[in-house]
Structure 1
Amino acid sequence: MLQETDQTPDDRPTKPAMWRGFQRKCPSCGEAHLFDGYLKVVDRCPVCSEELHNHRADDGPAYLVILIVGHLLAPLIHIVWTQFRPDPLVMATLFSIGCVALSLYLLPRMKGMVVGIQWARRMHGFGGASS
């Protein structure tokens, strides 16, 4: 049973917070940038003053990026090799560039999504009171 608090469990919906995080915006207001640089999360949102330094993303975003990139590129490598039989060096070069580019694109977005989930679920100090 949930304890009665000032706020209901649905006052921070998870899906919008995840989407805002994916867009690299503050999970609370969706206005300000979530990052100061490539992966450094700002300590406090300049628009809504939400404290964001509590996040604990750790290796989760990197794991998600590996999972997504692997599941996208593995079948594509198989299809390209069986259908077109390109030179192995050309194929390795193109897929290496694609893998790095996709990973660099997805990493800050996955980190923003993880921070958004943590904020919405009040994890790691985002809830105000320890539970």
Structure 2
Amino acid sequence: MGYVMRQLRDPEETRMTDSTSIADVADERPIKPALLRGWRRRCPNCGSGPLLQGYLKVRDTCPNCEQELHHHRADDGPAYLTILIVGHLMVPLIMFVFETFRPEPLVLATIFTVVCVAMSLYLLPRLKGIVVSYQWAKRMHGFGD
């Protein structure tokens, strides 16, 4: 429930009032199911229609429930999150493998390059689904209309 400070007639007197109406509560969009649907690359509204058309292109509308999805503004967010996650997982692992096993640098670079690319290709569309679903759940960028 959202609370807003409303100024009354007297500038000195303010109070907290409930700004959430019954219609807003009835039309609430829970975040957790939406994020799980986004991870599965499904429509955040119905959970059964595909969210993406191809590898990263978001559909204009869900073919199942007709939810408009063209409002999203994912931009560089999913790529940034992918780099952040892959980097934070790979750097300690590379350091551990190098210190423990002392492989040849070319072997180390080859193995971890393949692992980093595979993880990035796996995470990128899923994180894009999460970002679009989060925007849908929070009614951002035109999803609230």
**TM superposition score category, shorter chain reference:** over 0.9
Q: Report the CA distance between 1:9 and its aligned residue.
A: 7.4
How far apart, CA to CA, are the structure 1 residues paired with 2:71 and 2:32?
Answer: 20
Q: Which residue of 2 aligns with 1:83?
A: 100
SS at match of 1:67: helix
CA displacement 1:27-70 (0-9 Å, x = unmatched): 01100110010000010011111000000001100110011000
Alignment RMSD, CA only?
1.3
2:121 paired residue among 104, 107, 111: 104
How far apart, CA to CA, are the structure 2 residues paired with 1:10 and 1:67?
Answer: 34
SS at match of 1:7: helix
SS at match of 1:29: coil
How far apart, CA to CA, are the structure 2 residues paired with 1:8 and 1:85?
Answer: 58
CA displacement 1:1-50 (0-9 Å, x = unmatched): 32536332772101110110011000011001100100000100111110
SS at match of 1:6: helix
2:32 paired residue among 4, 8, 15: 15
Give the AA of the match of 1:118: Q
How far apart, CA to CA, are the structure 2 residues paired with 1:122 and 1:57?
Answer: 14
Runs of 4+ residues deviating >6 angstroms: none
- Counterparts of 1:111-122 in structure 2, within 5 Å, are 111-122=128-139
How far apart, CA to CA, are the structure 2 residues paired with 1:9 and 1:18?
Answer: 20
Count of residues in correspondence between the two structures: 128
CA displacement 1:71-110 (0-9 Å, x = unmatched): 1000000000000001100100010111111001000000
Identity of aligned residues (%): 62
Q: Which residue of 2 aligns with 1:94?
A: 111
Structure with greater contact order relative to length (CA < 8 Å, sep ≥ 6)? 1
Unaligned runs of 5+ in 2: 4-18
How far apart, CA to CA, are the structure 2 residues paired with 1:116 and 1:34?
Answer: 9
Larger Rg: 1 or 2? 2
Give the AA of the match of 1:85: R
| TM-score normalised to structure 1 length | 0.93
